[in-house]
Amino acid sequence: MPSVQDWINNPLGVVDGAFAQNNSGAEWEKKVVEYFKEKLKVNGAQSWVPSLNDVPLHYLKPNSLVKFRCMIQDMFDPEFFMGVYETVDSSTNSKVLRCGKYKDVTDCGQVDFNSRNAVTSERQTFYCVPIPGESQWVKEISFHQARVVPSTSYTPNRHKRSYEEDDEMDTQAQQENNCQWNDSHRNVESKRLETEAPSQNNSPSRCSSNLDLNFPLPGEQGPACLVKVYEGWDGFKLNDMLEVFGILSVDPALSLMADDKEASSLLDPTESMETVEEQRAHSPPASLVPRIHMLYAQPLKHNNPLLPSAVSEDKGACRFLSGVLSELTSVRSELLTYLTHIFLGDSLAAEYLILHLISSVYARRDVLPLGKFTLNVSGCPHSSPYTDQLYQIIQQLVPSSYQICMSLHNMNNQRMVPRKDYTANRLVSGTLQLASNTSLFLDETQLEQGQLDATGVRNITALGNLISWQKVDYDFNYHQMEFPCNINVLIVSEGRSLLPSDCQVHLRPALSPPNLEEYLKTVQLAQASSQLNKYRVYFTVARSLDYNISDQITKAVEEDFVEMRKDDPQSVSAEDLHRMLIVARLLSLSYGQTSLSRENWIKAKQMEMMRISRTQQQKCVNGNEP
């Protein structure tokens, strides 16, 4: 596909071409965007674009089209740039109009700052990180899906290749600059490669040690990116998941600036309106934090690579979806058996776990988030690897997840709530800055008696707010700002959790295998990867289904409620009804049914009944109220 090669390998050529064709109006800008959108729409075209998630940065060709699956971690200030500028050739004194869009630095030649043809434009910069807590399987599968990765030109003898590339750049630069500078340039370049190449290959975590890439979760890997957005930036929100298609810019000049900064700031105090920290945060070396000039971005509803990202866009996706829907029920029963094994034979807990994993905030009524279903699984054995293994199993099922061990040390030391750092002028991330539908696994069995300090109390409050209102109050020092979120919180604890939850299930194991660890491993191994993939698809599909309640059922539910209250008004409160309605909703969705049926309502009621009786029994056993 020669044409494909062209627009992927040299997108700036397309842009410049369009600019040269009609530089009078703003028309060309739209045309460029349309052109790339059309190209990407072609069946499978998106997988031809190399992804920053899969391919290490130095294998990618600068100024080529790349894609990046990411979350917006921070939004920087808008910047003004030269949209159109005029350069003067010093030898001939001729002037040329050039386009500055999708570029970081100007092309060769002296720029005429006072040109009357110049146009100043505005763009916005987003700091994007890979989706926090993305499961390993997501990465693997999307890696194998990409059709471009094993491209032969990159793989062999990569070191040599990258040196060659740099040499090319150097010769370019040489034309305009004196030798002395070029030498220093070469030094810097080679140094950069030395430090970067091994770290990218072996332990990507090392590269974050010298520069804090500000990932929400500790131990995350992958590149962070500065995404330059040219239009419609008001439509994006913090923590949105995006698939960005854009032009990769790793101009060494950008990194050089950071190095040079200290020297120049000494010379001119007025120049240093940015502190060193701010410099570091806002213009990190391009080798570590590449720039992407966005051509097109696709908001992601989920990051499950097994499903087409945009639901119901083309026919293939529709066919795929209907196929999944038809076998939803059978997958559900297999899944239930699997989870029942995991819960040592407790099928009720397994049912509730399924409901929990497909829950999602689907609307907000004034302050009340609807559809959240925080589950508290109590009765988990204290200090045994059971909870860890449970987390691993969940990790294998959901596309992104994170485990917080609620040990005293962790609670008192972890930074959960993102905080604005005014010196560096950026939002320092915290573990609660997560994308939509991330599974947050809170392990309360690790909590021991002791003193919570101020940070600990703040963290507990933040977790409580997250669970009750599905929002996190980011700390902006002078004020707090509320960011709504959609995070599935699962709490495992011995007794009732100290955090609020929508629903508490007390685990009642039916069997007690002598070697718990061994047992769980064998259960896990029994699942083929194709089986696991089915489950993964199941969760994502069930979550995205629409749902309604017919008038008839509404009537029935009302009757039921009145009936229940008649016998004993204390037994069922409005809150209980709330919960029952959520359970009924999720239960219907878990069977792939988009409206509530009588049977499901009754089943939901029974499940609730069983669950409540179990907790009450537990209370009796313990002899005291929690």
Partner 1 sequence: MSSPSSSARKRARSSNPPTPASEDPLSLSPRPREPSTGELQPMPTSPGTDMQSPAIQDTSLFSSPYHSSLLDMSSPLIYDTPSRGTPARQRPDLGSVRKAPQVDLNSEPVSGGSHFIKSSNCLQSKIFGLYAKRFLQRFIDPSSREDENACLDLNEPLYMQKLDEISVVGDPVLNVNCGHIQTFDADLYRQLICYPQEVIPTFDMAVNELFFDRYPDSVLEHQIQVRPYNALKTRNMRSLNPEDIDQLITISGMVIRTSQLIPEMQEAFFRCQVCAFSTRVEVDRGRIAEPAVCRNCNTTHSMALVHNRSVFSDKQMIKLQESPEDMPAGQTPHTTVVYAHNDLVDKVQPGDRVNITGIYRAAPMRVNPRQSQVKSVYKTHIDAIHFRKTDERRLHGLEEENEQKLFTEERVSMLKELAAKPDVYDRLSSALAPSIYEHEDIKKGILLQLFGGTRKDFSQTGRGNFRAEINILLCGDPGTSKSQLLQYVYNLVPRGQYTSGKGSSAVGLTAYVMKDPETRQLVLQTGALVLSDNGICCIDEFDKMSDSTRSVLHEVMEQQTLSIAKAGIICQLNARTSILAAANPVESQWNPKKTTIENIQLPHTLLSRFDLIFLMLDPQDEAYDRRLAHHLVSLYYQSEDQVEEEYLDMAVLKDYIAYARTYINPRLCEEASQALIEAYVDMRKIGSGRGMVSAYPRQLESLIRLAEAHAKVRFSDKVETIDVEEAKRLHREALKQSATDPRTGFVDISILTTGMSATARKRKEEVAQALKKLIQSKGKMPAMKYQQLFDDLRGQSEAAITKDMFDEALRALTDEDYLTVTGKTVRLL
State CA 228 to chain mean position distance: 18
Q: Does 496 bind partner 1 (CB under 8 A)?
A: no
Nearer to partner 1, 344 or 462 (CB): 462
Q: Does 567 bind partner 1 (CB under 8 A)?
A: no
Give the number of other Cβ atoms within 10 Å of residue 604's Cβ: 22
Q: Does 519 bind partner 1 (CB under 8 A)?
A: no
Question: From its phi and psi, is residue 469 left (phi > 0), alpha (psi between -120 and 50) or beta?
Answer: alpha
Nearest alpha carbon to residue 473 among 461, 488, 491: 461
Chain length of the chain: 626
Asked if residues 435 and 73 have their Cβ atoms less than 8 Å apart, the reply is: no
Token digits for 407? 């040990």
Q: Does 276 bind partner 1 (CB under 8 A)?
A: no
Token digits for 15? 């842009």
Nearer to partner 1, 205 or 615 (CB): 615
Residues 342-401 that bind partner 1 (CB under 8 A): 362-368, 370
Nearer to partner 1, 58 or 185 (CB): 185
Q: Does 112 bind partner 1 (CB under 8 A)?
A: yes
Q: Does 549 bind partner 1 (CB under 8 A)?
A: yes
Residues 5-64 that bind partner 1 (CB under 8 A): none
Phi, psi of 473 (to 5 degrees): -90, 105
Nearer to partner 1, 140 or 476 (CB): 476
Judged by CB under 8 A, the stretch of 101-109, 145-153, 294-302, 326-334 that binds partner 1 is 101-109
Q: Does 267 bind partner 1 (CB under 8 A)?
A: yes
Applying CB under 8 A, among 15, 225, 248, 254 the residue interacting with partner 1 is 254
Token digits for 136? 């390993």
Applying CB under 8 A, among 104, 346, 443, 444 the residue interacting with partner 1 is 104
Distance CA 583, CA 578 (A): 9
Applying CB under 8 A, among 566, 567, 621, 623 the residue interacting with partner 1 is 566
Q: Does 456 bind partner 1 (CB under 8 A)?
A: no
Applying CB under 8 A, among 109, 204, 345, 509 the residue interacting with partner 1 is 109
Q: Does 141 bind partner 1 (CB under 8 A)?
A: no
Asked if residues 111 and 100 have their Cβ atoms less than 8 Å apart, the reply is: no
Q: Does 96 bind partner 1 (CB under 8 A)?
A: no
What residues pair up with 438 in beta bridges, in sequence order?
487
Give the number of other Cβ atoms within 10 Å of residue 155's Cβ: 11
Distance CA 350, CA 498 (A): 22
Nearer to partner 1, 121 or 396 (CB): 121
Closest contact distance (angstroms) between CB of 561 and partner 1 is 4
Closest contact distance (angstroms) between CB of 161 and partner 1 is 25
Q: Does 547 bind partner 1 (CB under 8 A)?
A: yes
Give the number of other Cβ atoms within 10 Å of residue 577's Cβ: 16
Distance CA 181, CA 310 (A): 49
Judged by CB under 8 A, the stretch of 131-139, 327-335, 550-558, 606-614 that binds partner 1 is 550-558
Reduced to 3 states, what is the DSSP secondary structure of residue 42?
A: coil
Judged by CB under 8 A, the stretch of 71-79, 135-143, 291-299, 317-325 that binds partner 1 is 71-79
Token digits for 329? 């029920």
Token digits for 315? 């026919």
Judged by CB under 8 A, the stretch of 52-60, 319-327, 388-396, 559-567 that binds partner 1 is 559-567
Q: Does 422 bind partner 1 (CB under 8 A)?
A: yes
Residues 6+ apart with CB under 8 A from 266: none
Distance CA 490, CA 358 (A): 12
Binding mask of the shown chain, residues 313 to 342, with x at each position contacting partner 1 by CB under 8 A:
------------------------------
Q: Does 264 bind partner 1 (CB under 8 A)?
A: yes
Reduced to 3 states, what is the DSSP secondary structure of residue 162?
A: helix
Give the number of other Cβ atoms within 10 Å of residue 597's Cβ: 16
Judged by CB under 8 A, the stretch of 433-441, 517-525, 536-544, 563-571 that binds partner 1 is 563-571
